[in-house]
Amino acid sequence: MTEHTGKSPEQLERLRRRAAFLRELEEAKALRDRIAPRRARVRRIRAAMRRATYHH
């Protein structure tokens, strides 16, 4: 893990909790995609369409 210089123990603990949460979220998404592949494909297509039609 990278060293966080100048961070308080509270900040480090918050970063660790956030990293664990994001890992669990990714695992949950992967599990959901395995369980419902058609729904996952539709979700990916819709996300791609949103990216393609978003204008700055």
Tens of pLDDT, residue by residue over 39-53, are 888 989 999 999 998
Give pTM, 2 decimals. Answer: 0.55
Cα–Cα distances in angstroms (integers) from residue 6 to residues 2, 9, 10, 28, 53, in the given order: 13, 10, 12, 33, 42
Tens of pLDDT, residue by residue over 6-25, are 789 999 999 999 999 999 99
